[in-house]
Structure 1
């Protein structure tokens, strides 16, 4: 890091926001979700949108730009990591052998994130596929207290853990994006 980017935002209504409320895909005019499952899914969806927003408008080089050495964290690495963990959460549902890792050995999701446009496209495709597969697998358990897998974990705990994982990494994405081009906001 040689020079700091100037801080900026696209928002005009609230200058500390990422975008104006009318342009925010996380804002809805409808009623709040009803029930525990719908509420948890709503929070998860919001964090998923946030991650995509933090990556929006960047090229492959910017997405693959690493944070501060020795960290291997990048926005692209986060996308790959979240695809990997979505797959891993499905492993918790069953008793059998786990599905193979998407990107290889531990931390390959971050180590292997390179400034290749085809890799960026593949990472977002992987993420969408793994999110959909995990959503579908968890939807088979409408009772959130159902315990599954060899660890006898409650579906509720898996859902909350997913939200926590996305929330934590959206915080990382805030800092990574600001390092790339100075853009800040919620």
Structure 2
């Protein structure tokens, strides 16, 4: 295991704009043309881009790197973030569906981070969990196209849930920036 005192050299895969993660032609978030029309389409695009950003920050890492807690004393790792966001998607869905909330994916509080071990099957399982939970929450929200509709148990609107999801991904993509840089030195927005 790499010692925390070893600092990797900073680098970027981008050559056109060295402060970017990848070159524009290779960036799946880069959409040529105008922004989408309408509030819901805009929210969907922002969420899609943050989800892609998280995937990009994890791209090319092995299981040990994904599970590495590279910013001590934090228990965060990139794998832990993926697991946490799967858990959070499941939790949000529980706020808008009428049935009982689904059980936690990884166990009690903080198990999403604490159980992030350097095993390839855990990495693959976490990404599969995240994709499944994202799709299920997206489907639950698709039933509420009116952004002003009160859809949550606490009376929050569909808009509020969309914005909260974007905020959660944005915050954790910021964490992913730092974690990834500490793992192998790769930088870029």
User: Is 2:58 aligned against 1:63?
Assistant: no
Whole-Å separation in 2 of the counterparts to 1:49 and 1:153: 26
User: Is 2:100 aligned against 1:97?
Assistant: yes
The TM-score with structure 1 as length reference comes to 0.97
Whole-Å separation in 2 of the counterparts to 1:179 and 1:134: 32
CA contact (8 A) 1:95 1:149 kept: no
CA contact (8 A) 2:144 2:151 kept: no
Match of 2:109 in 1: 106
CA contact (8 A) 1:84 1:102 kept: yes
Count, aligned residues:
186
Whole-Å separation in 1 of the counterparts to 2:133 and 2:114: 20
SS in 1 for 2:188: coil
* Structure 1 runs not aligned, ≥5 long: none
Among candidates 62, 84, 88, match of residue 85 of structure 1: 88
**Could you report, residue by residue, the CA deviation over 1:110-156 in whole angstroms, capped at 9, with x for unpaired residues?**
00000000000000000000001111110000101110232111110
Whole-Å separation in 1 of the counterparts to 2:71 and 2:84: 18
User: Is 2:118 aligned against 1:115?
Assistant: yes
User: Displaced runs of 4+ in structure 1, greater than 2 A?
Assistant: 67-70, 94-97
Shift of 1:99: 1.1
* Structure 2 runs not aligned, ≥5 long: none
Whole-Å separation in 1 of the counterparts to 2:54 and 2:166: 12
SS in 2 for 1:148: coil
Whole-Å separation in 2 of the counterparts to 1:137 and 1:121: 24
Shift of 1:178: 0.2
Shift of 1:95: 4.4
**Could you report, residue by residue, the CA deviation over 1:34-57 in whole angstroms, capped at 9, with x for unpaired residues?**
100000000000000100000000
Give the RMSD, CA atoms, in angstroms. 1.0
> 1:1-186 alignment to 2 at 5 Å?
1-186=4-189
Structure 1, 26-35 or 173-182: larger mean CA deviation: 26-35
